[in-house]
Structure 1
Amino acid sequence: MKLRERLTARTLVLAGLVLILVLLPSLATAFFVNFVMTQTLILGLAAATIVFLSRYGGMTSLAQLLMFGIAGFMFGNAALDGGARGLNLGWHPWAAVGFAMLVTTLAAFVLGAIASRTTGIYFLMLTLVYGVIGYFVFAQIVEISGPGGITSIQRPDLLGPPVRLYYAGLLLSVLAYLGFRASRRTAFGLALQGVRDDPVRMASLGFNVALHRALAFTLAGFVAGLAGLLNVWWNGQIDPASISIGPTLILLIIAVIGGISSLEGAWLGAFVYVLVFTYLRDLPLVDGIGITEARFNTVIGVIVLAIMVLSPEGLTGIVQRLRGGARPVHPTEKELGGTRP
């Protein structure tokens, strides 16, 4: 099948999927829509930023959940008034949204600028350090959180009914997916992929390698911050434990389950994770074989191991094989318009 035909088929499939998701509240139970699917969209949106950085920038980041958390904490501090913890600024919810996204974007730019001169395992470890530092900052500074976190957070009136939060997650997911895919054909996206493939050559051609990496990290941080706002509205609270090492690794696992080289895989991995987390304990005979909630991470580990053995490219790789052809990890020269950056 030619590239254009494959792209057309994919577009039709994705459009059909979006249509199903739009109609889902009238087809499924409220629990499935407001718990399973809303959580899937939130986690998928955050995991998509890991995939974006890895696929287009060659950077595997463990700091995306930190950006996710910063947005949630900043919104709670700005929007609450008279709460037990936090700054209690009492701002209008949409002003608090602007404040949260501004702080998150600035933090992403600063941290991205610092990490932009490292690559490979050093970049991975540095972003992990970011996550650890962020956890202790919010856990130890009681003025902005403290160990108990911030509770009683209300979503804006516009998103009052739970189904509206689901639609907000769906809208942001579609926009993020289209935006990330469109970015690869922009001048910035082409240069970023060139930096991914050969940073030395790109630097010799006059491109600012560190700046491109920092800007990509900033963009990913901004999108992760949007997911963080949805999460804090969905949960109604946020605490430092939600951005600790465990959840940080879970977000990476979600991206790996779906396929670290595929944007679609972010939401597919999130859906599988949420399904397993929600329904595994209700399966017949599960208690009889010793699978309890305390052993959930072991189950997830086994699932990840099985997927990696069957397909290093995750579930999307398995889907591609079933369709008769695996897609390359990175876009081919033809996909990039016949040019190389």
Structure 2
Amino acid sequence: MTVRGQLTRRNLVLAAVVVVLLALPSLATAFFVNFVMTQTLILGLAAATIVFLAKYAGMTSLAQFLLFGVAGFMFGNAALEAGARGLNLGWDAWAAVGFAIVVTTVVAFVLGAIASRTTGIYFLMLTLVYAVIGYFVFAQIVEISGPGGITSIQRPELLGPPVRLYYAGLLLSVLAYLGFRSLGRTAFGLALQGVRDDPIRMASLGFNVALHRTLAFTLAGFVVGLGGLLNVWWNGQIDPASISIGPTLILLIIAVIGGISSFEGAWLGAFVYVLVFTYLRDLPLIDRIGITEARFNTVIGVIVLAIMVLSPEGLTGIIHRLRGRLERPAAAAADTSTGGPLPLRKTEKEFGGTRP
């Protein structure tokens, strides 16, 4: 099958998935939609920024959950009125949204500019340092949070019913997915992939390597900031513990579970993580084998280990391999039914006349 045919089939499958997700509130329980699927869309949106940076720029970032939290903290500081923790600016909800996104994007630009000249393990460790610093900033500066965090955060009236927050997450997820995929075919996206593959050669051709990496990190910060707003509206509160090292690593694990080279894997990994986290404790006799809620991280670790052994490309890699195995017998059967490919033969004209 041609690449064009594969892309068409892929798009049709994704369109069918979106249709199912649009109809899901009328097909599933309110708990499944408003807890499992809304959380899946939020975490998937954040994990997609890790995939974007790794896939196009070759940068594995551990700072995405920090930016995720910055958006939530800034919204809480701007939207809440006097009497609550934080700055208590008391702004209109949508003005607070704009403020949170601008601050998150600016922070992403500054952090990206600092980290843009590092690569590999050095970039990974620097972004981990960002996450640690961010945790202590919000834990120790009581004017913007303090250890208790910010509570009683209300979502805008437009998103009042929980199902609307689900649809908002679905809309942003679709836009982020299509936007990231389209970006890879633009001049900027192609140059970014060139920087990923050979930064020295790209620099010699006149491309500003550091600027491309900085802009990619900034774009990822903008998108993860949108996810951070959805998260703080879904939770109704945010505290420094929610952006500590644990959640930071969990977001990376989600991307790895789904497949860090596949945008679809971001949401697939998030779905598996939320599903296990929500329903593992309810499995019959699960406590008889020593699996309790306190050992959830161990279970996740075993799942990640099993997936990495079976397929370093994550669940999407496993799906692609299974699909390939199913297609081979069908292709072989089609060749057999048509007599197989015709052998290469010269015509009589090519032989220069009638064969003897």
Common fold by TM > 0.5: yes
Identity of aligned residues (%): 87
The match for 2:178 is 178
TM-score normalised by structure 1 residue count: 0.95
Structure 2, unpaired ranges of 5+: 326-356
The match for 1:94 is 94
Structure 2 Cα separation of the partners of residues 218 and 164 of structure 1: 28
Shift of 1:136: 0.2
Given residue 36 of structure 1, which amino acid in structure 2 is its aligned partner? Answer: V
Shift of 1:260: 0.3
Structure 2 residue 294 is the aligned partner of structure 1 residue 301: no
The match for 2:287 is 287
The match for 1:104 is 104
The match for 1:318 is 318
| Superposition CA RMSD, Å | 0.9
Equivalence map 1:134-145=2 (5 Å): 134-145=134-145
Structure 1 Cα separation of the partners of residues 148 and 179 of structure 2: 36
Structure 1 Cα separation of the partners of residues 149 and 301 of structure 2: 29
Structure 2 Cα separation of the partners of residues 265 and 307 of structure 1: 13
The match for 1:55 is 55
For each residue in 1:78-120, what CA deviation from the matched residue of structure 2 results, as whole angstroms up to 9, or x when unmatched?
0000243100000000000000000000000000000000000
Structure 2 Cα separation of the partners of residues 209 and 250 of structure 1: 30
Given residue 82 of structure 1, which amino acid in structure 2 is its aligned partner? Answer: A
Structure 2 residue 216 is the aligned partner of structure 1 residue 216: yes
Structure 2 residue 259 is the aligned partner of structure 1 residue 254: no
Shift of 1:273: 0.1
Structure 1 Cα separation of the partners of residues 278 and 11 of structure 2: 30
Structure 2 residue 130 is the aligned partner of structure 1 residue 130: yes
For each residue in 1:246-294, what CA deviation from the matched residue of structure 2 results, as whole angstroms up to 9, or x when unmatched?
0000000000000000000000000000000000000011111111111
Structure 2 Cα separation of the partners of residues 20 and 173 of structure 1: 14
For each residue in 1:186-228, what CA deviation from the matched residue of structure 2 results, as whole angstroms up to 9, or x when unmatched?
1110100000000000000000000000000000000000000
The match for 1:232 is 232
Equivalence map 1:9-24=2 (5 Å): 9-24=9-24
The match for 2:328 is none
Which aligned runs of 4 or more in structure 1 are off by greater than 2 angstroms? none
TM-score normalised by structure 2 residue count: 0.91
Given residue 301 of structure 2, which amino acid in structure 1 is its aligned partner? Answer: G
For each residue in 1:51-91, what CA deviation from the matched residue of structure 2 results, as whole angstroms up to 9, or x when unmatched?
00000000000000011000000000000002431000000
Given residue 293 of structure 1, which amino acid in structure 2 is its aligned partner? Answer: E
Structure 1 Cα separation of the partners of residues 108 and 324 of structure 2: 40
Structure 2 Cα separation of the partners of residues 18 and 136 of structure 1: 39
The match for 1:119 is 119
The count of residues paired between Structure 1 and Structure 2 equals: 326
Given residue 134 of structure 2, which amino acid in structure 1 is its aligned partner? Answer: G
Instruction: Give the structure with higher Rg (CA).
Output: 2
Structure 2 Cα separation of the partners of residues 39 and 274 of structure 1: 7
Structure 2 Cα separation of the partners of residues 185 and 260 of structure 1: 19
Structure 2 Cα separation of the partners of residues 191 and 287 of structure 1: 52
Structure 2 Cα separation of the partners of residues 323 and 135 of structure 1: 43
Structure 2 Cα separation of the partners of residues 20 and 45 of structure 1: 18
Shift of 1:2: 1.1
- Structure 2 counterpart SS, 1:324: helix
